[in-house]
Amino acid sequence: MTIVARMRAAGCVFAEDEAALLEATARDAADLERMVRLRVDGLPLEHVLGWVQFAGRRYVIGPGVFVPRPRTEFLVREAALIVAPGAVVLDLCCGSGAVGAALAEAIGAAELHASDADPVAVACARNNVDNVYEGDLFDPLPRSLMGRVDLLVVIAPYVPTDAIPLLPHEARDFEPRATLDGGADGLAVLRRLLEAARRWLAPEGILVTEVSERQVPALVGLVTAAGLEPRVIRDNDLDATVVVGRHTIGRYV
């Protein structure tokens, strides 16, 4: 059986495209066979390849790390429009680090810091970003960043616990639960993060995050309660919903 036929039989919808990527990435025939077997066994394509294409660039990724979603490119484009070059960028819950790296590149950031609670994600992100810290939310960050963050980007786990069984099997079976599960309403991690966000943002600094459309009213309430001025941006084609919170200290809104 050809590689395409094996992958089609395993349920890969884009078997031809995926086979071409595996062939282009494999070091030799044995490596190609290893990759095809992993993919046929259901491992996400990006985990098999060892890289993910995001916002026009390739970033290192591996098993056990959340795969950045194409819809998040919308957040990168929108944030790049509202943050000036030379910004200090912090990517919390960074996973592979691709989102922060893409943003820093798009903005022309002066500094990029990233952190994640999962050591596997942190090890992966260190391939893509220089300043990566390991720990819960803001805990591992250098205190010198407090009040200096111009752009705080966070794609936290935001799937409500009850909705986890409805996710595609590649997410359910191959992405750690802690990368997906946002608690009863999907906002548990964001809720904790927002309690501290203002202390880390620079005056006029902004927080950008992504949630589902259904979560917007609750999240806008949390952003407002955190002392940030909320704004919602939506792309229907990508089914992407971005919530922005601006730190407006020192000026009337």
Ligand X SMILES: C[S@@+](CC[C@H](N)C(=O)[O-])C[C@H]1O[C@@H](n2cnc3c(N)ncnc32)[C@H](O)[C@@H]1O
- Residues of this chain that interact with ligand X (CB under 6 A) are 66, 68, 72, 93-96, 98-99, 116-118, 121, 136-137, 155-157, 178-179, 189
Tell me whether residue 94 or residue 132 sits nearer to ligand X (CB atom): 94
Tell me whether residue 49 or residue 94 sits nearer to ligand X (CB atom): 94
| Residue 104 CB, nearest approach to ligand X (Å) | 13
Write out the E strands in the chain. 51-54, 57-60, 88-92, 111-116, 131-134, 149-154, 201-211, 228-235, 240-247
Tell me whether residue 3 or residue 200 sits nearer to ligand X (CB atom): 200
Instruction: Return the axis-axis angle of helices 188-200 and 216-225, rounded to nearest 10°.
Output: 30
Tell me whether residue 37 or residue 169 sits nearer to ligand X (CB atom): 169
| Residue 11 CB, nearest approach to ligand X (Å) | 24
Task: Retrieve residue 203's tokens.
Answer: 């005056």
For the chain, the distance separating the N- and C-terminal CA atoms, rounded to the nearest angstrom, is: 65
Residues counted in the chain: 253
Q: Which residue is at the shortest CB distance from ligand X?
A: 95
| Residue 203 CB, nearest approach to ligand X (Å) | 25
Asked if 51 contacts 31 with a C-beta cutoff of 8 angstroms, the reply is: no
| Residue 148 CB, nearest approach to ligand X (Å) | 20
The H or E element containing residue 64 is none
| Residue 40 CB, nearest approach to ligand X (Å) | 25
Tell me whether residue 19 or residue 66 sits nearer to ligand X (CB atom): 66
Could you tell me how far CA 243 lies from the centroid of its own chain? Answer: 14
